[in-house]
Chain A
Amino acid sequence: NAGVTQTPKFRILKIGQSMTLQCTQDMNHNYMYWYRQDPGMGLKLIYYSVGAGITDKGEVPNGYNVSRSTTEDFPLRLELAAPSQTSVYFCASSYSQPSYGYTFGSGTRLTVV
């Protein structure tokens, strides 16, 4: 029962580099989300998906891209890393019924230097 698995757990990028944060869930959840957490700022929604092939922007989408080719996977792509993208990134999933909370991954700490 893995839940939501995020990789990597830590990463240091240089300005202008690209990378993909991986997220996989094995609970057959329809909805998946990417959040970023900055110190003292709570969590902010980057992108979300309500099912395979469907994605939409959240509150802070600039500088990121996502895809959802399967129910299980929801990778987050950073194309040209900037220092402002230094943050902790969380992937989460849920059933469509809003009474359920989310199941979160363990997070990825990304530093852009």
Chain B
Amino acid sequence: AQTVTQSQPEMSVQEAETVTLSCTYDTSESDYYLFWYKQPPSRQMILVIRQEAYKQQNATENRFSVNFQKAAKSFSLKISDSQLGDAAMYFCAYRLYSGGGADGLTFGKGTHLIIQP
């Protein structure tokens, strides 16, 4: 079974600074997808960024980027120019590419990101 580990229960960063959230995962598969979800106090789960395991290039979405290290099974999220609206729980998630089954997402336990004004 796949597991996803987020080793930082809580992180704090000054507004406008850069912060990196860590995620490692365990799998014996070679084809899979990785995601970061944001959950603000509203409770809504919002997709931040995705990465295909077969792509070596790291995904980027505006101020959000990832550092994907496939051999190390590491998938960190970097948030540049942090804004107050970035304050939320962030979940790392893994989805196997098997082409047939439901392939549910496996989530880490989350990192609570605090933005200091």
Q: Tell me the A residues contacting B by CB distance below 8 Å.
A: 31, 33, 40-45, 48-50, 56, 58, 88, 90, 92, 98-99, 101-102, 104, 106-107, 109
Contact = CB atoms under 8 A, between A and B. Distances in A.
Interface string B94-114: 011111011111011110000
How many interface residues does chain B have, given as a range? 20 to 34
A31 B102 contact: yes
A98 B97 contact: yes
A1 to B, nearest CB: 15
Interface of B: 4, 9, 32-33, 35, 37, 42-45, 47, 50, 52, 91, 93, 95-99, 101-105, 107-110
A107 B40 CA distance: 13
Contacts of A31: 102
Contacts of B101: 50
